[in-house]
């Protein structure tokens, strides 16, 4: 239900300053646009309400209880709207997945926080159609057994999904199921199984992708390549975006969100979207340097002017790096399903993507002798084990360090 919002009306606050929280549904009746408001039964002061996220803020002492009741009421309204009192054969699992996605949208969550669930839902629809063709019924929560896990893994492998993608699919699926399982007393009509909590559910052997930072020479070439891009304005923006990532360590999801409001006392202050709901101190503090400042000045202190979809950005990056002759051969493993990977040697420009700017930033910081705690403060990492996956020191640097050590 895309037209269901959660709102308050500040001009209707009571004497104590509290506003009723409403669900507002927009619809068209007889060609006329209308809307209906349904009281949630919860009240909040405007100062304790997030208009963007449509949630009660932590400054309200009862925020957790109120937000929980809002989620419950939202799903009740969604159920009533979808059922219309009719009993039809449907996929309980996929229907609930759609409601879960719509709930996150209504709560004002960023698209990055629910698009993975959309991907999982689309895959589950395809898998369900395969099951139905084999004589099975539509998917229910009670079907989430270890046998279901095995069947889904084999189905995804037969379609050449990378093992890491298969693992990520199950992790996302479990997050969704947890939402309903934790509220199982409120859904007596749903039969649950706890097989999905077992370690064998969704168990596959994954692989790690090695970091691929730019080396010192490649970084210098990128820094001074404007003369090669005089007639390629689209590549100039791609170059500037990647370079900005190299000197700030920002992820793609945060790279295009920087404005003057993020600059304070010579620092870029950013709250990473990836960890906004999982970390209490979710701030990265990155010193503004001559390169990042010049890029910001070029785009009027608004990196949103550089924004491209991830697919287009990565495609143009490969075009840029091919033009710059970043063509050292790199041995790489390609996975297609759960079988043994194929080993190929590919030119570096074919392998580089938006994420490698972060590899470059962290590796350059290590090479320049910046302390690990400082780097983690800039990147937002809380564990060194996670951060070290971005580090790759070239042989020239290692030899140089040893030369000065003895």
Phi-psi group of 160: left, alpha or beta (phi > 0 → left; psi -120 to 50 → alpha; rest → beta):
left
Q: How far apart are alpha carbons 24 and 7 in whole angstroms?
A: 7
User: Do 54 and 106 contact (CB within 8 A), yes or no?
Assistant: yes
User: Do 109 and 53 contact (CB within 8 A), yes or no?
Assistant: yes
CB atoms < 10 A from the CB of 344, how many? 12
* pLDDT score at 396: 66
User: Do 53 and 47 contact (CB within 8 A), yes or no?
Assistant: no
Instruction: Return the biggest CA–CA distance within the chain.
Output: 85
Q: How far apart are alpha carbons 120 and 103 in whole angstroms?
A: 16
Q: How far apart are alpha carbons 369 and 378 in whole angstroms?
A: 15
Asked if the model's pLDDT at residue 30 lies above 80, the reply is no
Asked if the model's pLDDT at residue 235 lies above 50, the reply is yes
* Residue 259 per-residue DSSP state: B
Residue closest to 118 by CA, chosen among 103, 97, 137: 97
User: Do 354 and 314 contact (CB within 8 A), yes or no?
Assistant: yes
Residue closest to 162 by CA, chosen among 380, 291, 335: 335
Q: How far apart are alpha carbons 46 and 83 in whole angstroms?
A: 34
131-162 burial, b for 16+ CB within 10 Å, e for fewer? beeeeeebbbbebbeeebbebbbebbbeeebb
C-alpha neighbours within 13 Å on the C-beta side of residue 7: 15
Q: How far apart are alpha carbons 402 and 337 in whole angstroms?
A: 42
- As beta bridge partners, residue 283 has none
* pLDDT score at 381: 82
Least confident of 66-70, 341-345, 399-403: 399-403
User: Do 165 and 113 contact (CB within 8 A), yes or no?
Assistant: no
**Average pLDDT of the residues in 329-358:** 90
Q: What is the pLDDT of residues 174-199, one digit of tens each?
A: 999 999 999 999 998 899 999 999 99
Sign of CA dihedral 32, 33, 39, 40: positive
CB atoms < 10 A from the CB of 86, how many? 6
For the chain, the straight-line distance linking the first and the last C-alpha, in angstroms and rounded, comes to 68
**Average pLDDT of the residues in 110-120:** 84
Q: In sequence order, which ranges of 87-182 are alpha helices (DSSP H)?
A: 92-106, 115-133, 146-158, 163-181
* pLDDT score at 351: 93
Quote the pTM value.
Answer: 0.65
Instruction: Give percent of the chain above pLDDT 70.
Output: 90
Tokens of 281: 């101190």
Residue 147: band (very low, low, confident or very high) from pLDDT cuts 50, 70, 90: very high
Strand 329-334 to strand 284-287: parallel, antiparallel, or no bridges (unpaired)?
Answer: unpaired
Least confident of 13-27, 227-241, 257-271: 13-27
* Mean of per-residue pLDDT scores for the chain: 87
Instruction: Give percent of the chain above pLDDT 90.
Output: 51
């Amino acid at each position: 239900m895309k037209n269901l919002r959660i709102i308050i009306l500040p001009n209707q606050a009571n004497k104590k300053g509290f506003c009723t929280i409403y669900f507002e549904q927009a619809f068209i009746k007889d060609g006329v646009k209308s809307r209906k408001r349904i009281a949630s039964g919860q009240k909040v002061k405007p100062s304790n309400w997030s208009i963007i996220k449509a949630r009660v803020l932590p400054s309200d002492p009862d925020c957790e209880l109120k937000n929980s009741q809002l989620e419950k009421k939202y799903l009740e309204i969604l159920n009533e709207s979808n059922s219309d009192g009719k009993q039809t054969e449907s996929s309980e699992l996929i229907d609930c997945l759609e409601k879960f996605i719509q709930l996150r949208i209504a709560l004002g969550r960023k698209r990055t926080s629910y698009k993975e669930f959309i991907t999982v839902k689309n895959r589950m629809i395809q898998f369900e159609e395969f099951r139905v063709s084999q004589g099975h019924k539509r998917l229910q929560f009670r079907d989430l057994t270890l046998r279901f896990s095995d069947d889904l893994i084999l189905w995804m492998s037969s379609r050449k999904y990378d093992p890491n993608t298969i693992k990520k699919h199950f992790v996302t699926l479990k997050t969704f199921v947890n939402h309903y399982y934790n509220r199982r007393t409120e859904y007596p009509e749903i039969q649950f199984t706890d097989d999905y909590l077992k370690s064998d559910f969704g168990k596959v052997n994954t692989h790690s992708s090695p970091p691929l930072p730019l080396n010192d020479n490649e970084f210098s070439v990128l820094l001074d390549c404007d003369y090669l891009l005089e007639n390629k304005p689209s590549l100039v923006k791609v170059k500037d975006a990647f370079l900005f990532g190299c000197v700030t360590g920002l992820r793609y999801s945060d790279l295009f969100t920087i404005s003057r409001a993020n600059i304070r006392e010579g620092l870029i202050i950013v709250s990473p979207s990836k960890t906004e709901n999982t970390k209490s101190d979710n701030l990265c503090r990155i010193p503004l340097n001559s390169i990042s400042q010049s890029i910001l000045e070029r785009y009027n202190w608004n990196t949103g002017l550089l924004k491209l979809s991830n697919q287009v950005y990565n495609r143009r990056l490969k075009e840029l790096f091919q033009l710059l002759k970043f063509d050292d051969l790199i041995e790489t493993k390609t996975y297609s399903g759960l079988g043994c990977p194929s080993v190929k040697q590919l030119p570096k420009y074919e392998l580089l993507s938006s994420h490698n700017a972060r590899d470059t930033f962290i590796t350059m910081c290590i090479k320049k002798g910046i302390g690990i705690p400082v780097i983690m403060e800039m990147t937002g990492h809380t564990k060194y084990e996670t951060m070290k996956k971005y580090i790759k020191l070239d042989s020239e640097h290692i030899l140089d360090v040893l030369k000065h050590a003895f």
